[in-house]
Amino acid sequence: MTLHDNMIEMGDRAVAAARALAVKSADDKDRMLAAMAAALEQGRGALKQANALDLEAGRAAGLSDALLDRLQLTDQRIDGMVAGIRQVVALADPVGALLEQKVREDGLVIEKRRVPIGVIGIVYESRPNVTADAAVLCIKAGNAVILRGGKEARHSNQAICDTLLEGGKEAGLPHGALQLVRTTDRDAVRELVQMQGRVDLIIPRGGESLIRAVTEMAHVPVIKHYKGVCHTYVDDTAQLEMALAICENAKCQRPGVCNAMETMLVHKDIAPQFLPRIAERLIARGVELRGDEASREIVPQMKPASEEDWSEEYLDLILSVRVVQDVHGAIDHIARYGSQHSDAIVSESADAQQLFLQQVDSATVYVNASTRFTDGGQFGMGAEIGISTDKLHARGPMGLPELTTYKYILRGTGQVRS
């Protein structure tokens, strides 16, 4: 059987499973997930054995220590996966929620209700815990899921998937509801993202290059998280101490994540007071500053920023700095170089705040707070499958409701249209 035929069969099984999942109650699904968590907890020996094979192959292939660390399944990480599943069990089931209801004069009742999307494909890189995290969120929302992980983690992913299936099966998980693409053939990704009619949505999880590659090949809709080039704009009306604390936090608290600040924009009138003080604090935290000319006149220790710096997601202790005319200048800069992820204004002016909130076209816009809060957990979603930088369907942190769609349900007593 060819790869193509294999993938089509996988898709057909997923479609059938999605139909079976559509009639499962919240309790049914929670029982499946609880059984999957228990199986992982009890199967940790097998998981670690499989993981050892991946680590060995990774070392032989010369993977960096950072990659080997991401790949490793420790007891603590297995406990984390198990706890993660149990958290998802505790979340409310989004399926069936009544979003709108109308009763027409002729008595026809129109309901708009949340329903599962159907079949979701997840394409991800080396962290094996995504296998459990993503599968469980999709299934909780009533979707069948097809996983395609990175080849470095293939033994670990298979072991996790097999263990989840073992637990789930006994609790009634439909055949085909959770499937892992087991071949390492790269063409399998192309097949997966081109299965219109069998796959309803692709969510790639990984670096920008993975996401671009998937998007370019896809015929199925893709929800993308390109990158987080997040800005903080310090207005001339900002409270200085607040601006200092917010900028330091947004840059330094965890620089390697997508909601960390990468560019700081400063109103020209506050720059002479603000820039020397923030520079001192950031340099003390080990941050490398790259400024435009106006910034460097005030803080000569800054390196010069190049045009490329403005669109760079450093994910590191580096910050680009620019002096702008006013809030309009900040909005222009963000429109040109931003990634529509998370951007903040620090300002005491209601007008400037409002303009910034309305005109900055990003998933999350902040007044007087650190951009570091853009996160499903911080937003109270309970669990997050990713952060969308798209504008359609889902924007910003994506939880369970974003893994659903809706349908209109009309209940009549023989109504016809006249």
Alpha helical stretches, state H, 316-349 = 327-337
Of the candidate spans 69-77, 114-122, 170-178, 287-295, the one that interacts with a second copy by CB under 8 A turns out to be: 114-122
- Cβ neighbors of 10 (< 8 A, separation 6 or more) are 146, 176, 179, 181
Instruction: Evaluate whether 291 touches 309 at the Cβ level (below 8 Å).
Output: no
What is the closest distance, in whole angstroms, from the C-beta atom of residue 331 to a second copy in the complex?
8
How many residues appear in the chain? Answer: 418
User: Is residue 212 part of the contact set for a second copy (CB under 8 A)?
Assistant: no
Least distance to a second copy from the beta carbon of 102, Å? 6
CB 397 within 8 A of CB 225: no
The neighbouring-strand residues paired with 396 are 388
> Does position 366 bind a second copy by CB under 8 A?
yes
* Subset of residues 242 to 271 that bind a second copy, contact rule: CB under 8 A: 242, 245-246, 248-250, 253-254
Is residue 15 a contact residue for a second copy (CB under 8 A)? yes
Q: Which of 299, 370, 376, 386 binds a second copy (CB under 8 A)?
A: 370
The secondary structure element, H or E, covering residue 271 is helix 271-284
Can you spell out the DSSP letters for 280-299? HHHHHTT-EEEE-HHHHHH-
Minimum gap (Å) between residue 148 Cβ and a second copy: 20
Q: Coil, strand, or helix at residue 350?
A: helix
Contact 319, 282 (CB under 8 A): yes
Does position 110 bind a second copy by CB under 8 A? yes
**Least CB distance from residue 408 to a second copy, whole Å?**
4
Indicate whether 6 belongs to the interface with a second copy (CB under 8 A): no
Min. distance of Cβ 394 from a second copy in angstroms?
8
The distance in angstroms from the start CA to the end CA of the chain is 54
Note the residues at the interface with a second copy (CB under 8 A).
15, 18-19, 22-23, 102, 104, 108, 110, 115, 117-118, 200-201, 221, 239, 242, 245-246, 248-250, 253-254, 331, 335, 354-355, 357-359, 361-370, 372-374, 378-380, 390-393, 395-397, 405-418
